[in-house]
Amino acid sequence: MPTPSEQLSTAKMASCLELKQGILYHMRYTLALRAEQASHRDWWLCLSLAVRDRIIDDMVLTQTRHNEDNVRRLYYLSMEYLMGRMLVNNVHNVRVFEEAQQAISELGLSWHEVCDEEMDMGLGNGGLGRLAACFLDSLATLDLPAVGYGIYYEFGLFKQDFHHGKQVEHPDTWINYGTPWELIRPEYAQTIQFYGRVEASYDSFGNYHPRWVDTKNVLGIPHDIPVAGYDTKTVNFLRLWSSRSTEDFDLDEFNKGDYVEAVRSKAIGETISKVLYPNDKNENGKELRLVQQYFFVACSLADIMRRFERNNGSDWDQLPEKAAIQLNDTHPAIAVVELMRILVDDKRLHWDHAWSLVTRIFAYTNHTLLPEALETWSVGLFEKVLPRHLQLIYEINYRFMEQVEQRWPGRDDIKTELSIIQEGQHKMVRMAHLAVVGSHKVNGVAALHSELLKTDLFARFHEFYPDKLTNKTNGITPRRWLLNCNLGLGQLFEQYGIEKDWPKNLERLRKLEEFAEDEDFQLAFMAIKHQNKQRLADVIQAECGVEVDPNAMFDVQIKRLHEYKRQHLSLLNILTLYHRLLNDPDLDIVPRVFIFGAKAAPGYALAKTIIHAINAVADVINNDQRIRGKLKVVFLPNYRVSLAAKIIPAADLSEQISTAGKEASGTGNMKLALNGALTIGTLDGANVEIKEEVGDDNIFIFGLQVDDVQALDRHGYNPYDYYHGDEELKNALDWLCSGYFCPHEPHAFDDIRTTLLEHGDRFKVLADYRAYIDCQERVSEAYRDQSRWAKMAILNTARMAKFSSDRTIQEYADEIWHLPACPIA
Ligand SMILES: *Cc1c(COP(=O)(O)O)cnc(C)c1O
């Protein structure tokens, strides 16, 4: 292969020189260091700053244009953004990849060592936060005017490591040394109120206008992260709010003359944005979480109103023309109420006028049907933290209930079902109901999920608002999840004449279908996979101290640890194969490396037990000479975006084995298939649509379907029937819980057994076991025929265009936001 310098055109040489000068400029004038003193981290910082300078030029251009043209904007409200590393992505998006590599090489440095210095920006838990990050990339790439709003967590998702196989959490100190990717904007700070009480009062016309008084106040400071589109001049930004105390945070304490107590209580203001709650799909009802939600929503709406009033004065009827707001799950749903408060209390609009504006502005994305994930807040907590908002919710609900009465006179049962307030011993505010009532569109995130919203979770709402529910199948950005992470495959596309614009036009890959049976292409495709596997094998050796063979099948399950995702089903398969091998050492099985990556919520005991169990089984299997390395099991610690980018290009098999009806979409499934991994999966979430796209012959589907799961639930599912009816299953589960794999703590895994047997196996692990084992046999048979496997893998990569987040965002823009593009000259 030619070295980069031989390939660089004159224009790129100039650009490379400019970058190098930028790097050295920042080394001297930003870090005040001589090059000889600089660490890899210093070089990473200076390269980032040099790249940032270019992005800022286009950001100023973009924002000037958006403001001068007073464009319609999309505001994306999300509590989570799982951005990962920014440098490599930005270098690709602004098209200076080769130049940057060359500059780093000319400075005598290693590209990978410099890039590996970057801490992930891990301000999210999993799929929901990563979706927000992919959407920002697509919005900018499609030249759509948009601002993302969220929280600037001082500590993102915890860092995970294992002690004797058990998860241990450590704080994520990503911000310790600051980040080059933020621009702090104190001039746009906002003051936000909490707590206090509502006082009745009348204006000078004798009209009732309640006042929210005696509040505690905090300051929100914007940290702007530029978001550069791929191969375009558009640079949008993500505005993240950090909290600071105001002097009047607790006036009471100051007035009492207790200076020290008053300053101490100021610290409470600073805790709001301190840490991301590490729960994925499980709400915990903590006061600080509600405070976080209102804090970032109130800052964001005040910012949106400031921008609107600057350009449009108080022409409120223009508000829905200038602003579309998307709620990423119900976490920011309080925004519906906050905008009513602003319009009715502050701007003095009539209720009906305000409500008609609000309901034209908001749209809501639902991300789950799991009841434990649906947010409710106790009325008591609401009254304490946001007393005025509780009154407004009651008013919204009163008027909504009147409409329900008109539609279904006398049907109190339907009112109870639809009410925003859940009655009962502890009255609760149902945030999903608030979001549905306050939005003009509500979408699910895959076809199957959106259908289930209509028939299950929101069935009655669907009767009431027949045009509100819709589908927007999730997607992933092909920039991060193919161009950045799989350079080898990108080069192969070029050799085979795939148009160069494939990263923003994923349909281009369909041309690969022509080569699916071409032997040379198959070999080249599989050679790249092999290189990627070798690189991952090095990571595994470094991280886990386990040697794995890149010729073995890499069987990958990477996602949050959750019972519904069923990592323990894969563990039962591993135990079954291990058992078979021990009883027949000559058994001719396809060698496999099982690769896991997953964080468990710190309070989710069973999820932590499953991690411990996988690690314990791994330790026994990896050290058992009798099976001659035919099976290896590795659990890579600290699964995160940058680790995903190393695992995904090296995967042969993608495990997407959730209980049918429980995974709303999944996006890991899309990343893996795009990189040529074959899916073994249930008919759940977007797996259904992946199957439609790649074809039945190029995916491994098994197990219960949604109807089957529902039938089992209706007619009484008895996991013992499966346990007693399947000798291999019984053996695997008994063996796991026998103490054999953890002699020092023989009962360590008892809870897994208890959940699957005595507690009724809510996620049908035992019911799907046999179908899964049999399907894995079919996978192994396919892998033995490397040419057949290569063809299937190629067809997966070739047929993933639908799952580009560019397609998803264009659908949102056309059908929900009605948002025109604004190309920057
Ligand atoms: C894509 C991604 C996820 C979501 O994975 P699923 O398999 O869809 O649950 C979670 N975490 C990270 C770091 C990701 O990149």
Does the Cβ of 640 fall within 6 Å of ligand 1?
yes
Each residue of 113-123: pLDDT tens digit?
999 999 999 99
Which 3 state secondary structure label does DSSP give 472? coil
> Which residue range forms the structural domain that includes residue 669?
550-803
Does ligand 1 lie within 6 Å of residue 559's CB atom?
Answer: yes
DSSP string for residues in 223-254: EEEEEEPTTSS-EEEEEEEEEEE-TTTTHHHH
> Which tens digits make up the pLDDT trace of 123-167?
999 999 999 999 999 999 999 999 999 999 999 999 999 999 999
- Is 799 one of the catalytic residues? no
- Convert the pLDDT of each residue in 524-535 to its tens digit: 999 999 999 999
Tell me, yes or no, if 411 is annotated catalytic.
no
91 and 163 share one domain: no
Q: What is the pLDDT of residue 261?
A: 73
Residue the block writes with tokens 């290693």: 110
- pLDDT the model gives residue 281: 85
Whether 793 lines ligand 1, by a CB cut-off of 6 Å, is: no
Listed in sequence order, the residues at least 6 apart from 568 whose beta carbon sits closer than 8 Å to its beta carbon are 610, 613, 752, 756, 765
Beta-carbon count within 10 A of 482 CB: 27
- The pLDDT of residue 253: 65
Residue 502 belongs to some domain of the structure: no
pLDDT bracket for residue 282 (50, 70, 90) = confident
Contact 736, 613 (CB under 8 A): yes
- C-alpha span between 49 and 614 (Å, rounded): 42
Q: Is 446 in the pocket of ligand 1 (CB under 6 A)?
A: no
The reported pLDDT for the residue numbered 171 is 97
Distance separating alpha carbons of residues 579 and 577, to the nearest angstrom: 5
Are residues 181 and 155 in contact, defined by beta-carbon separation less than 8 angstroms? no
DSSP 3-state percent helix, strand, coil across the chain (nearest 5): 55, 15, 30
Instruction: Give me ligand 1 centre to Cα 171, in Å.
Output: 20
**What's the pLDDT at 285?**
86
Please indicate, yes or no, if residue 494 is contained in any of the structural domains: no
Residue of 52, 281, 367, 568 with catalytic role: 367
Q: What is the Å distance from ligand 1's center to 128 Cα?
A: 8
Q: Which helix (H) or strand (E) holds 166?
A: strand 166-170
Q: What is the DSSP string of 346-375?
A: IS---HHHHHHHHHHHEEEE-----GGGS-
Task: Give the separation between CA 77 and CA 238, rounded to whole angstroms.
Answer: 10
Are 331 and 817 a contacting pair, CB within 8 Å?
no
Which of 389, 559, 562, 599 does the annotation list as catalytic? 559
The answer to whether position 141 is within a domain reads yes
| Catalytic status, residue 347 | no
**Minimal-distance CA residue to ligand 1 atom 4:** 127
Looking at the predicted structure, is the pLDDT value of residue 3 above 70?
Answer: no
Q: Are residues 584 and 447 in the same domain?
A: no
- Whether 644 is in the pocket of ligand 1, judged by its Cβ within 6 Å, is yes
- From the CA of 639, give the closest atom in ligand 1: 13
Distance 716 CA to ligand 1 centre (A): 33
Residue 182 in tokens: 């933020």
Q: Is 127 in the pocket of ligand 1 (CB under 6 A)?
A: yes
Task: Please check whether residue 434 is in contact with residue 330, taking contact to mean a CB–CB distance below 8 angstroms.
Answer: yes
Mean pLDDT of 810-821: 98
- DSSP sequence for 493-549: HHHTT--TTGGG-GGGGGGGGGGTT-HHHHHHHHHHHHHHHHHHHHHHHHHH-----
- Cα 668 to its chain centre, rounded Å, is 10
Measured by CA distance, the residue closest to atom 5 of ligand 1 is 668
For residue 270, how many C-alpha atoms fall within 13 Å in the half-sphere facing its CB?
Answer: 8
Average pLDDT over residues 646-668: 98
Instruction: Name the residue with the closest Cα to ligand 1, atom 15.
Output: 641
Protein residue closest via CA to atom 7 of ligand 1: 668
Give the per-residue pLDDT at 504.
Answer: 98
Could you tell me if 18 and 155 lie in one domain? Answer: no
Q: Is residue 483 part of a domain?
A: no
**Three-class SS state of 392:** helix
Task: Say yes or no: 284 and 380 in one domain.
Answer: yes
Amino acid 248 reads D
Residue 7: pLDDT band by 50, 70, 90 thresholds? Answer: low
Ligand 1 atom at shortest distance from the alpha carbon of 127: 4
Instruction: Give burial (CB, 10 Å; 0-12/13-18/19+) of 535.
Output: middle
pLDDT at 5: 47
**271 an active-site residue?**
no
In which element (H, E) is residue 167 found? strand 166-170
Measured CA angle at 386 (ends 382, 392), to 5 deg: 90
Candidates 641, 663, 669: which one to mutate for ligand 1, based on the most atoms within 8 Å of Cβ? 641
**Rounded CA separation 336/359 (Å):** 8
Query: Is 126 a pocket residue for ligand 1 (Cβ < 6 Å)?
Result: yes
Q: Is the pTM of this model over 0.85?
A: yes
DSSP E strand boundaries for 287-409 = 323-328, 362-365, 376-378
Distance CA 324, CA 333 (A): 14
CA 652, CA 673: separation in Å to the nearest integer? Answer: 9
- Any domain includes 541: no
Ligand 1 atom at shortest distance from the alpha carbon of 558: 7
C-alpha of residue 53 to centroid of ligand 1, in Å:
31
Q: Say if ligand 1 is within 6 A of residue 281 CB.
A: no
> What is the arithmetic mean of pLDDT over 361-390?
97
**Is there a single domain that holds both residue 563 and residue 644?**
yes
Task: State the closest ligand 1 atom to the C-alpha of 666, by its place in the atom list counted from 1.
Answer: 8
Ligand 1, atom 9, lies closest to the CA of: 559
Q: Residue 373 Cα, ligand 1 centroid: separation in angstroms? A: 17
Residues 112 and 212 in one domain: no
Instruction: Average the pLDDT over each of 17-31, 265-279, 393-407 and give the range with the smallest value.
Output: 265-279
- In this prediction, residue 251 carries a pLDDT of 60
**Residue 47: inside a domain, yes or no?**
yes
Which atom, in ligand 1's list, is nearest to the CA of 656?
A: 7
Classify residue 398: in a domain, yes or no. yes
Res 4: pLDDT: 47
Whole-number Å distance, alpha carbon 133 to ligand 1 midpoint, is: 12
User: Does residue 15 sit in the same domain as residue 81?
Assistant: no
Do residue 37 and residue 160 come from a single domain?
no
| Mean pLDDT for the stretch of residues 576-588 | 96
613 alpha carbon – ligand 1 mean position (Å): 22
Q: Are 547 and 565 in contact (CB under 8 A)?
A: no
- 106 with 211, same domain: the answer is no
Identity (one letter) of the amino acid at 8?
L
Helix (H) or strand (E) holding 170: strand 166-170
Cα separation, 796 vs 699, in Å, equals 9
Q: Collect all residues with Cβ–Cβ distance below 8 Å to 617 and sequence separation of at least 6.
A: 571, 574, 575, 578, 633, 736, 741
Same domain, 49 and 195: no
For tokens 């789950």, the residue is: 368
Q: What percent of the chain shows pLDDT beyond 90?
A: 92
Using CA atoms, how far residue 69 sits from 1, 73, 506, 677, 816, in Å, is 48, 11, 31, 45, 22
Q: Are 171 and 34 found together in one domain?
A: no
Give the distance from CA 237 to its chain's centroid.
18
Do 481 and 668 form a contact (C-beta atoms < 8 A)? no
Residues 324, 809: Cα–Cα separation, whole Å? 14
Q: How far, in Å, is the centroid of ligand 1 from the Cα of 130?
A: 7
CA atoms within 13 A on the CB side of 582: 10
Q: Identify whether 559 is a catalytic site residue.
A: yes
Which tokens is 541 given? 């050796």
Cβ–ligand 1 distance for 478 under 6 Å, the answer no
What is the CA(239)–ligand 1 centre distance, in A?
23
- How much distance in Å is there from the Cα of 327 to the middle of ligand 1? 20
Question: Among residues 433, 565, 568, 599, which one is catalytic?
Answer: 565
Say how many C-beta atoms besides its own lie within 10 A of residue 774's C-beta.
10
> Looking at the DSSP assignment, which residues form a beta bridge with residue 283?
none
Query: Each residue of 227-256: pLDDT tens digit?
Result: 999 999 999 999 999 999 986 656 666 667
| Ligand 1 site-directed mutation target among 125, 667, 689, 803, most atoms within 8 Å of CB | 667
The pLDDT tens digits of the residues spanning 287-308 come to 999 999 999 999 999 999 999 9
Dihedral over alpha carbons 299, 304, 309, 311 (to 10 degrees): 140
Looking at the chain, the number of H-run helices and the number of E-run strands are: 34, 25
Question: Which of the following is catalytic: 54, 560, 592, 608?
Answer: 560
pLDDT at 378 over 60: yes
pLDDT 10s digits, 726-761: 999 999 999 999 999 999 999 999 999 999 999 999
Q: Using one digit for the tens of pLDDT, what is the confidence trace for 190-203?
A: 999 999 999 988 88
Q: Which pLDDT does position 2 carry in this prediction?
A: 45
The chain-wide mean pLDDT, for the chain, equals 96
Domains in the chain, number:
3
Q: 528 lies in a domain?
A: no
- Over residues 4-32, mean pLDDT: 88
Whether the per-residue pLDDT at 482 is higher than 50: the answer is yes
> Are 460 and 602 in the same domain?
no
What integer is the mean pLDDT of 23-38?
Answer: 97
Give the orientation angle of helix 786-798 with respect to helix 519-544, to 10 degrees.
90
**Is residue 667 among the annotated active site residues?**
yes
* From 667, 679, 682, 797, the catalytic residue: 667
Give the residue-averaged pLDDT of 669-676.
Answer: 98
Say how many Å lie between the CA of residue 668 and the centre of ligand 1.
5
Distance CA 667, CA 142 (A): 20
- Please give the DSSP secondary-structure letter assigned to residue 149: E
Please check whether residue 700 is in contact with residue 779, taking contact to mean a CB–CB distance below 8 angstroms: yes
CATH value at residue 356: 3.40.50.2000
- State the pLDDT at residue 67: 98
666 lines ligand 1 (CB under 6 A): yes
Least confident of 29-38, 244-253, 403-412, 415-424: 244-253
